[in-house]
């Protein structure tokens, strides 16, 4: 039967407990003077091997990364503050450590203006077109606080003729429980409610995890041989 990492981990656990009992027995012999140097030498050798094997025998764990739910943008954002009209529009989100991460930024956003002066009045169609073009350029990586690249942000239209867009997040749990932040002075959307958009939270993201070290069959056989020799010395069976 093939030797698995779990087989070796189980054997190591049994041998560790037996070695502790062996250590207690050896201490009693040392206290009474009933010992010889070979006993101490064997114990030191077995302890060294057990420490070595503990570092090597780590189960391989792989968890696939999953993107959280997308956030819907109900059409182009509307700005109504004359001072901010035509300036940069930013869409971002905080990660789990409180760092603000930019998803979308355009330096001269011409979003729809309602109630502003005639010089700043814009049409719905032109605002939609500019937002469509600017959002199509979103395709950048998210580097987390451990300097791990978790994948890309993107913004896409839900359907070809839809006014709605959706923010696609990288495969990470870093944004779970957070909502998207729009700045500056976005007061509504052409096709929906600002309140509804802010109330939607990101959820169900999962970070990719790869831990442990793959061990060759040759190494497994060698480690198993060591554990079997230790079992003979400790008079145990696995």
Strand partners, 93: 101
Domain positions in the chain are 5-60+212-234, 71-208
Mean pLDDT is lowest, of 4-8, 82-86, 94-98, 142-146, for 82-86
Q: Where are the alpha helices (DSSP H) in 82-160?
A: 124-136
pLDDT class for 160, splitting at 50, 70, 90? low
Which residues 6+ apart lie within 8 Å of 238 measured at CB? 10, 11, 14, 227, 231
Structure-model confidence comparison of residues 207 and 87, the more confident one:
207
Average pLDDT (73-83) is 68
pLDDT score at 109? 65
CA distance 48 to 42: 10
Q: Quick one: pLDDT at residue 192? A: 63
Residue 133's pLDDT is what? 77
Higher per-residue confidence, 155 vs 193? 155
Question: Model-level pTM?
Answer: 0.64
| Per-residue pLDDT reduced to its tens digit, 55-64 | 999 888 889 9
Q: What is the mean pLDDT of residues 187-215?
A: 78
Q: Decide if pLDDT at 119 tops 70.
A: no
Q: What is the mean pLDDT of residues 144-154?
A: 93
Burial class (CB in 10 A: 0-12, 13-18, 19+), 230: buried
Q: Which CA distances in Å does 172 have to 7, 42, 98?
A: 33, 49, 15
pLDDT band at 116 (very low <50, low <70, confident <90, very high): very low
What pLDDT does 105 receive?
A: 81
In the structure, what pLDDT confidence band is assigned to residue 190 with cuts at 50, 70 and 90?
low
């Amino acid at each position: 039967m093939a030797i698995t990492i779990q087989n070796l981990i189980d054997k190591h656990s049994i041998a560790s407990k037996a070695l502790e009992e062996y250590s207690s027995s050896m201490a009693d012999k040392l206290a009474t003077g009933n010992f010889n140097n070979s006993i101490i030498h064997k114990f030191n050798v077995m302890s060294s091997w057990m420490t070595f094997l503990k570092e090597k025998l780590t189960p391989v764990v792989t968890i696939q990364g999953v993107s959280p739910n997308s956030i819907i943008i109900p059409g182009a954002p509307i700005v109504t503050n004359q001072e901010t009209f035509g300036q940069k529009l930013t869409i971002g989100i905080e990660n789990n450590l409180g760092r603000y991460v930019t998803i979308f930024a355009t330096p001269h956003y011409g979003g729809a203006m309602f109630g502003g002066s005639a010089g700043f009045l814009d049409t719905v169609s032109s605002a939609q077109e500019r937002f469509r073009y600017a959002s199509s350029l979103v395709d950048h990586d998210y580097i987390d606080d451990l300097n791990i690249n978790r994948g890309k942000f993107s913004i896409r239209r839900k359907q070809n003729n839809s006014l709605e867009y959706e923010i696609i997040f990288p495969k990470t749990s870093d944004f779970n429980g957070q909502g998207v932040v729009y700045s500056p002075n976005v007061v509504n959307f052409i096709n929906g409610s600002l309140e509804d958009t802010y109330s939607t939270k990101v959820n169900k993201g999962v970070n990719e995890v790869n831990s442990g070290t793959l061990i060759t069959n040759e190494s497994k056989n060698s480690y198993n041989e060591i554990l079997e020799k230790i079992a003979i010395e400790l008079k145990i069976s696995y």
